[in-house]
Amino acid sequence: MHVTIDAERLWESLMAMAEIGPTQHGGSCRLALTDEDAAGRRRLIEWCEALGCTWRVDRVGNLFIRRAGRRDDLDPVATGSHLDTQPRGGRFDGVLGVLAGLEVFRTLDERGIVTERPLELVVWTNEEGSRFAPAMVASGTYAGEFSVESTLAREDRDGVTLGAALEASGFAGGMAVGEPRLDSFFELHIEQGPVLEAAGESIGVVAGVQGMRWYDVSLDGQAAHAGPTPMRLRRDALAAAARLIDRLQSHALGDARGDTKVTFGCLDIVQGSRNVIPGETRLTVDLRHVDETELDALEQRFERELAACGEVFGVTTRFERIWKSPVVHFDAACVEAVEAATRTRGFSYRRLLSGAGHDSVYVSRVAPTAMIFVPCRDGISHNEAEYASPEHCARGCQVLADTLLARANGYATEAL
C-alpha cells in the first residue's frame, strides 16, 4: 500500500492553527488550558469529526482521536504531540506532530483506506511546562510517573490549579488515565537544534532522548545598603548565584563532546532595588546529558559548587530537584521502522538522540515508541522566529504516514 500525503494541505492546516493565539512577531501563544489552547483543540476536533473520527478525553485532559480500523478490538497505533506553546513560541513545535497526524487521517480518508489496527491521534496536555511545571506532566501521568491527584493539584503562577483550568477550558474528561493502551506511538517533531540543517539532511531518526533534571534553588544572604557596606562583609545572594552559574557554565563548556548542558532559565532577586545588596535570590537549574552516569556526576558537581558558593559568600543555600527524566532509548523495532520508511523514500537522514524532552519520553515506558525529526531554521525553537520549511514538514509527514501504515497493517515499511 502506497500513499502520498498532500503537502500543501498540511501547510495550510499549520498556518490555520497559527491563527489561534498569534504573537506580534509571527509566533504563537497558546499556554496550556487557556482559551487559546482550548480553541486550538476545538479546531482540531472539528477537522477530525469531518472525517468520521471519534474522540475522548482523560482526567488530565489528554485528547485521544480515533480513526477506526478493521479490528477495533486491537490496540491502536498512535501518533501525535501537543498544541500548547511557550509564551512567545513558534508555529511548529508540537503542532507539526499533531497536524501531520491529521494529514495522515485525511489522506487515508480520501483514498478510502481502512487500516487493520485503529489509528489514534493524541494531543498531550501541558507538554511545555510553561504554565504548569514540570513539562510533559500529562503524558507522565498517563505513563504512571505522576498521580492524577498531584497533576490536577499543580498550580500556575496565579495559583490556578491544572484541575480548575481543565474545567474552565471544557476539557476535563472522564476517561481513566492510562487508557487507551497503545500498540505503539510515533511522534513527528521539529529538531529544535541545528544538527540536521547543518548536515543538509531531511530526516532525523530519533533513537532516544538525553536525560534531564530540573532544580529550584534558593540563596539567602543579607540585604544591606550598597554604599556603606564593605565588600568583604557582604552576604550577597546574587553574587553567589553568579559564581554558581559561572562555574557550571565553565564545566559544561569544557566538555569537548558537547554532551554536557547546563541552563539557568529563571533568575529572581526578591525585592530587588538598585542600591540594595541582594539578600534573597531564586533561580532554576536545568542539567542534561546523554549518559545517565555522567548526568549523576553532573548533579553531584552542581551540589558541590552550590555548597561552595554558599561558604564563599556567606549565604544559605537550598535546592529541590523537581523533575528527573532519565536517558531514554526508544524501541528498536519502531526506530528501525522509521529508518526503513525514510530509506525507502530516498530521503537523506541520520540517527540521533534528542536534546529536548518530549511526550514520547514518558509514552515509551508503556508502549513501543520512536520519533521523527525534521530540520528547523538555524536550530531555533521556543521562539517566534521558529521555522520549518513546507518541504521538510511534508517529508516528515510522509515518513510518519508510511510508518503508521506499516505498523497498523503489520508489514515492513520496505514493502511499501
CB 190 within 8 A of CB 96: yes
CATH 1.10.1060.10 fits 211-325, yes or no: no
- 127 neighbors 139 (Cβ within 8 angstroms): yes
Q: What is the mean pLDDT of the chain?
A: 96
pLDDT value at 214 more than 60: yes
Is the distance from CB of 330 to CB of 369 less than 8 angstroms? yes
**pLDDT at position 175, please?**
98
Whether pLDDT at 228 is above 90: yes
Confidence category of residue 411, pLDDT binned at 50, 70, 90 = confident
Give the model confidence (pLDDT) of 41-76 as tens digits: 999 999 999 999 999 999 999 999 999 999 999 999
Categorize the per-residue pLDDT at 315 as very low, low, confident or very high, splitting at 50, 70 and 90.
Answer: very high
Written as one letter, the residue type at 110 is E
State the pLDDT confidence band at 404, using cuts at 50, 70 and 90.
Answer: very high
Report DSSP letters for 18-75, one per residue: HTSSB-TTS-B---TTSHHHHHHHHHHHHHHHTTT-EEEEBTT--EEEEE--S-TTSP
Rounded CA-CA distance 102/45 in Å is 10
Beta bridge partners, 261, equal 288
Q: Specify burial of residue 385 (Cβ count, 10 A radius: 0-12, 13-18, 19+).
A: middle
The predicted-structure confidence for 129-184, as pLDDT tens digits, reads as follows 999 988 899 999 999 999 999 999 999 999 999 999 999 999 999 999 999 999 99
DSSP string, 63-80: EEEEE--S-TTSPPEEEE
CA–CA distance, 287 with 7 (Å, rounded to integer): 38
Mean pLDDT of 1-13: 94
Closest-CA residue to 405 (of 203, 115, 121): 115
Strand partners, 349: 203
Reduce the DSSP state of residue 299 to 3 states and report it. helix
pLDDT for 285 equals: 98
What pLDDT, on a 0 to 100 scale, did the predictor assign at position 94? 98
CATH class of 7-210+327-415: alpha beta
245, three cell numbers: 552559574
378 pLDDT above the threshold of 80: yes
pLDDT band at 323 (very low <50, low <70, confident <90, very high): confident
Instruction: Give the count of beta carbons closer than 10 Å to the beta carbon of residue 180.
Output: 17
For the residues 299-321, what does the mean pLDDT come to? 98
How many whole angstroms separate alpha carbon 162 and alpha carbon 37? 13
- The cell for 318 is 537550598
Segment 77-104 shows an average pLDDT of: 98
Distance separating alpha carbons of residues 251 and 309, to the nearest angstrom: 15
**Where are the domains positioned within the chain?**
7-210+327-415, 211-325
Q: What is the mean pLDDT of residues 397-403?
A: 98
Q: pLDDT value at position 192?
A: 96
CB of 132 within 8 A of CB of 160?
no
Count Cβ atoms within 10 A of the Cβ of residue 227 and give its class: 0-12 exposed, 13-18 middle, 19 or more buried. exposed
Q: In Å, how far from its chain's centre is CA 228?
A: 48
In angstroms and rounded to an integer, the radius of gyration of the C-alpha atoms of the chain is 23
| Cα 216 to Cα 283: distance, rounded to the nearest angstrom | 6
How far, CA to CA in Å, does 129 sit from each of 84, 105, 154, 361? 9, 28, 11, 14
Is the pLDDT at 355 greater than 80? The verdict is: yes
Q: What phi and psi, each to the nearest 5 degrees, are found at residue 263? A: -140, 140
% of the chain surpassing 70 pLDDT: 99
Q: pTM, whole model, 2 decimals?
A: 0.86
In the block, cell 517566534 appears at 384
Percent of the residues in the chain that have a pLDDT greater than 90, as a whole number: 96
What does residue 97 show for φ and ψ, rounded to 5 degrees? Answer: -65, -35
86 in Cβ contact with 382 (< 8 Å):
yes
Residue 415 has pLDDT above 60, yes or no: no
Kindly provide the residue ranges of all beta strands, DSSP E only, lying in 82-155, ordered along the sequence: 119-123
